[in-house]
Structure 1
Amino acid sequence: MIEDVRDRLRDPAAARILDLNGLDPRVQDIVLKTPGARELLANLADYAPLPAGPRRIAIGCAGDSGTHP
């Protein structure tokens, strides 16, 4: 399953923290402060265990490829 959430979640790359990943609390804080983010993530998590649901759900950001100065 691919769910494009770029228009629904804040991109942590915009906060200039490109050297961090989604396990870092600063990244999580930025994303989870997006209005509706917790509900969106809960809906995706509810969908996962359904028989026709996805085996994996991954959420990434539109930040650069890691080649920053």
Structure 2
Amino acid sequence: DEIEKYLVKKSTVLELAVENIVEIIGGPFKGMKATVTRIDHDKEEATVVLLDASYQLPVTVDANYLKLTHQSNG
């Protein structure tokens, strides 16, 4: 517990780029895959489009709820 306050957690938002495929690992959309469409580095949020939805559903989530599964080649 005492050492945790000295550790700096690397922000997930730095690993993300537009068109990356991510898995949502927290919140109401946990377990769903999505494509990143926008990143807000200041707020550490990302807007993603859910791949499992029957229509394009853009959702803004905390970037720490995302796990990169496939990087875009762009």
Normalised-by-shorter TM-score class: under 0.3
TM norm structure 1: 0.23
Answer 1 or 2: which has greater helix percent.
1
**Structure with the higher fraction of residues in strand conformation:** 2
The higher-RCO structure (CA 8 Å, 6+ apart) is 1
